[in-house]
Amino acid sequence: MKGIYCLVTYLNKSERIKIARLGYIPFKRGYYCYIGSAMTNLEKRVERHYSKKKKRFWHIDYFLNHAKLIGFKALEMTSREECWLADQIRKISDGEIRRFGSTDCGCSSHLQYFKKNPLKLRRFSRIFKPRLEDLLKSYASKKIAIKKRLLEFREMWKEPDERIFAELCFCICTPQSRARVCSNAIERMKRIGILFRGDEEDIRRYLIGVRFPRNKARYIVNARNFLTRRGDVVLKGKIGFADPIRVRDWLVKNIKGVGYKEASHFLRNIGLGEKLAILDRHILKNLLRYGIIKDIPKTLTPKKYLEIEKKMRRFSKRMDIPLAELDLLLWSEETGEIFK
């Protein structure tokens, strides 16, 4: 993740603190917000601030020897905009420490003072809602690559049934597992024929890095048995009807291990489900960040899935980004790649 962040600290007594070349500065008892940025690995930057054993480099390093770090907020962004964030927080703060953290920019300060805990202020929380214009900028930069990927998905329907079945197996493997790991496992089994001939134990051994491999191996064998006619996998004839909603319902009803998310994912990946939402953890996390949903449900029932899908579809129309393209965009914002 890359972007800007705000550390919220608490100083339990008024004191003078030496801040590098700024010298001794008087600090009042209260809360202080420090604004920074990290264009690579923001998580590690914040982790460093929490660490007690570190070399003092930034102004905040000196201050944190006295103040307690009680929380932080972050915003994903593709450019350094900590000055914008500092200005937003300055507008609602009770004061600032001049030149703190801002000797290399035009800001008066990157450390703002609050009498009360800013984490409990609604005005403070509103600042950290991600900006839709940033999402549109990201879409503009990735639009060609996303459309190219979707075109590749549409071409998938021309592939033999075995290739389509392999994509179904990939989607069966993805719950709570990394997509790239699942794809590699399926490709290995497809290459040596295990995917079409192996028993549950054979397949389980090849699901390296995939969570719940025993269950998923059983689902793959069950799906293969259900879809095999006279020794050949027959899948395209089963799902070749026009309405993707009906196809999704059929998959959920007949293929064990496939729920609404997996069915939607599979249909999108073979060019039949561009109007279906793939509500995996990355997408749900972003829908929450952009205020489309109020929370991430612990259990995604069919009713709840369809309810959130409807909200995502409305968000897609509002942003003027086709649903399938929005899915790949949000997924790439989390993972850093346009995969599947």
Q: What angle do CA 283, 285, 289 make, to 5 degrees?
A: 115
C-alpha 163: how far from chain center: 28
Which pLDDT score, from 0 to 100, does residue 84 have? 87
pLDDT confidence tier of residue 305, bands split at 50, 70 and 90: very high
Q: Over 80: is that where the pLDDT of 77 sits?
A: no
3-class state of residue 145 by DSSP = helix
3-class state of residue 207 by DSSP = coil
CATH 1.10.340.30 corresponds to the domain 133-335: yes
Convert the pLDDT of each residue in 20-29 to its tens digit: 999 999 999 9
Convert the pLDDT of each residue in 233-287 to its tens digit: 999 988 876 799 999 999 999 999 999 999 999 999 999 999 999 999 889 988 9
Mean pLDDT of the chain: 93
Give the residue-averaged pLDDT of 183-198.
Answer: 96
pLDDT confidence tier of residue 78, bands split at 50, 70 and 90: low
Share of the chain above pLDDT 70, in %: 99
The residues spanned by each domain of the chain are 3-128, 133-335
Q: Which amino acids are annotated catalytic?
A: 261, 280
Q: Quick one: CA dihedral 83, 84, 88, 89, positive or negative?
A: negative
The model's pTM: 0.71
3-class state of residue 37 by DSSP = strand
Amino acid, single-letter form, for residue 236: K
Neighbour tally for 29: CB within 10 Å = 11
Convert the pLDDT of each residue in 114-166 to its tens digit: 999 999 998 998 888 877 888 998 999 999 999 999 999 999 999 999 999 99
Question: Which residues sit opposite 74 in a β-bridge?
Answer: 5
Q: Quick one: CA dihedral 98, 6, 1, 279, positive or negative?
A: negative
